[in-house]
Amino acid sequence: MPGLGRLGRFALGLVSLALGTAAQAQEKPVPPLVFTGIPDQDESRLVERFGKVATYLEGKLGVPVRYIPVKSYPAAVTAFTNGQVQLAWFGGFTGVQARRAVPGSQAIAQGAEDAAFKTYLIAHAGSGLEPTKDFPKAIAEKTFTFGARASTSGRLMPEYFIRQAFPGKNPDQVFARVGFSGDHSRTIQLVQSGAFAVGAVDYSVWDLDTKAGKVDPKAVSVIWESPTFPDYQWTVRGDVDLTYGAGFTEKLKGALVGVTDPAILEPFGRSKFIPVTNAAYEPLVEVGRSTGLLD
């Protein structure tokens, strides 16, 4: 360049390099917000449910959002713990496990129905069991299936109620045979088929499967409704603000609480999402310890 000495050209080169580096930094793509959810029911329903959530959140947050499925409840906790996902729709107990493993993570929203959730005990028509308001002690010596081993409504809370009803005994000592179905829809099908006489199921999945025509009322029915307890929630890692900017956690919470579209809410069996904090799930910590399912 005419008129510039070697030193001037060197200085100009440094300025150009700095400007180019700054431009590259500005153009660096934002990593996607990746989330998952516990596989608590029929897989096709989960894909429908979470696909709509991903599209909604991407529009509200202005960052790419991606859902990845997992095969089990522990896999959801592991994906959250190792940073593979930043956000998860957990059950009450898996949420407790995840937040204990990742300090700083927060429960930020739950379904309005999750503040007072319920387990249904369901029974095959051939079991001879009838609906009752009191815990049905006649289930003793029957075959019994829980849901997933880390399920709140399908394992943690029903085991707690069983231990209360039969002091000094664990489920293996109460029932003729104990199984773990893996998810609530499967529990319903196993009891409906007669493979198990009794099962513990998430009441919201029972309602969804009933509406979908998957429940035969002549083959299976609800015999007991549990006392209420806190359950599902959205939990986010504590480091998301470092990745997506200050205030991102609050923006995410606002987006979730702001969901009004029935097409998103109905697959969850929820009327809306409401704010929540980690403290709401302390009762599950105590139940987990009392049943030996949590250290």
Residue by residue, pLDDT tens for the chain (295 residues) are 455 455 445 444 444 444 444 444 455 788 999 999 999 888 888 988 999 999 999 999 999 999 999 999 999 999 999 999 999 999 999 999 999 999 999 999 999 999 999 999 999 999 999 999 999 999 999 999 999 999 999 999 999 999 999 999 999 999 999 999 999 999 999 999 999 999 999 999 999 999 999 999 999 999 999 999 999 999 999 999 999 999 999 999 999 999 999 999 999 999 999 999 999 999 999 999 998 998 8
- pTM, two decimal places: 0.86
Residue 294 has a CB neighbour count (10 Å cut-off) of 16
Q: Are 223 and 132 in contact (CB under 8 A)?
A: yes
Neighbours of 62 (CB within 10 A): 11
Write out the chain in H/E/C secondary structure: CCCCCHHHHHHHHHHHHHHHHHHHHHHCCCCCEEEEECCCCCHHHHHHHHHHHHHHHHHHHCCCEEECCCCCHHHHHHHHHCCCCCEEEECHHHHHHHHHHCCCCEEEEEEHHHHHECEEEEEEHHHCCCCCCCCCHHHCCCEEEECCCCCHHHHHHHHHHHHHHCCCCCHHHHCCEEEECCCHHHHHHHHHHCCCCEEEEEHHHHHHHHHCCCCCCCCEEEEEECCCECCCEEEECCCHHHHHCCCHHHHHHHHHHCCCCHHHHHHHCCCCEEECCHHHHHHHHHHHHHHCCCC
Domains and CATH numbers, the chain: 33-115+231-291 (3.40.190.10), 118-225 (3.40.190.10)
